[in-house]
Amino acid sequence: MEQPAPQWLDVGTGEERRRIAVLEQEGAGAPVIWLGGFRSDMRATKAEALSDWAARSGRAFLRFDYAGHGETGNDFGRWTLSHWLEDTLAVIAARCRQRPVLVGSSMGGWIALLAARKLRGSALAPAGMVLIAPAVDFSEELMWAQMPQDIRDTIMRDGVWLRPSEYSPEPTPITRALIEDGRRHLMFGSEIRTGCPVHILQGMQDPDVPWQQAMKLVEHLSGDPVALTLIKGGDHRLSTPPDIARLQAAVAEIATA
């Protein structure tokens, strides 16, 4: 089956101007927006599964590739969380006519929460969220805090460390800019308010985002209605058929609430 071609959205100014690849499916109800993970893309397994769900359900569905991800570009190391949040807010502003439902995977979970903070009180504040292994504050807590001193020294001296990846034959550049920019967006340590229902899906065998991080997030979401589903044997991807069914059900529930 032929893959649909993306549309394009211009984001940023000057040297940081980029064209974001967007896939949009028309439908009814609050648009469901997929926010992918760190170095993932909008055609990954879970995004495709939600596209199928949206088509069957007649729901509007949006997905896109952040700067340096997927079809948007191959200059991954140039960009930081601030750019990826800017991409997200630009897509919401350009393509949504009513409050969206944000579905964030891993880093996308952190971006969803940051977007909710930016949009709170506006006409496009999220109507609900589903977060899969949300990697809140990951650049600090799950990267920098876990790195040996020699790797930290390499990042500070050279500006980048090439981290071997379990998900790609190519190493992932971890830049000094990414670490320092991430510190501007840290959320743990004070209450996190989304103003909407939140459902978190978390694998208990996740080697990248420990399940205790999800519990920590629930504690910080003290003012919002939150459901947490822990999958005892679940990994980070949560892409098995039962995991996909669980994700689709969670999104359907939040999207019709």
Give per-residue pLDDT as tens, 77-87.
999 999 999 99
Whether residue 202 is contained in a domain is answered as: yes
Alpha helices in the chain (DSSP H): 45-57, 81-95, 107-119, 138, 149-158, 176-182, 211-220, 241-255
Please report whether residue 184 resides in a domain: no
Is 90 exceeded by the pLDDT of residue 183?
Answer: yes
Q: How far apart are CA 96 and CA 9, in angstroms?
A: 13
Print the domain residue range for 117: 7-137+189-255
In total, how many domains does the chain have? 1
Mean pLDDT, residues 140-150 taken together: 98
> Is residue 157, in this structure, part of any structural domain at all?
no
Is 181 among the domain residues?
A: no
| Residue in the structure block whose two tokens are 């964030």 | 104
Inside any domain, residue 183: no
pLDDT score for 1 = 58
Higher pLDDT, 74 or 208: 208
Residue 223 belongs to some domain of the structure: yes
Local confidence band at 169 (pLDDT 50, 70, 90 cut-offs): confident
Task: Give the strand pairing for 128-132 and 198-203.
Answer: parallel
Q: How far apart, in whole angstroms, are the C-alpha atoms of residue 116 and residue 201?
A: 18
CATH of the domain at 232: 3.40.50.1820
Q: What are the pLDDT digits (tens) for 28-51?
A: 999 999 999 999 999 999 999 999
Q: How confident is the model at residue 168 (pLDDT cuts 50, 70, 90)?
A: confident
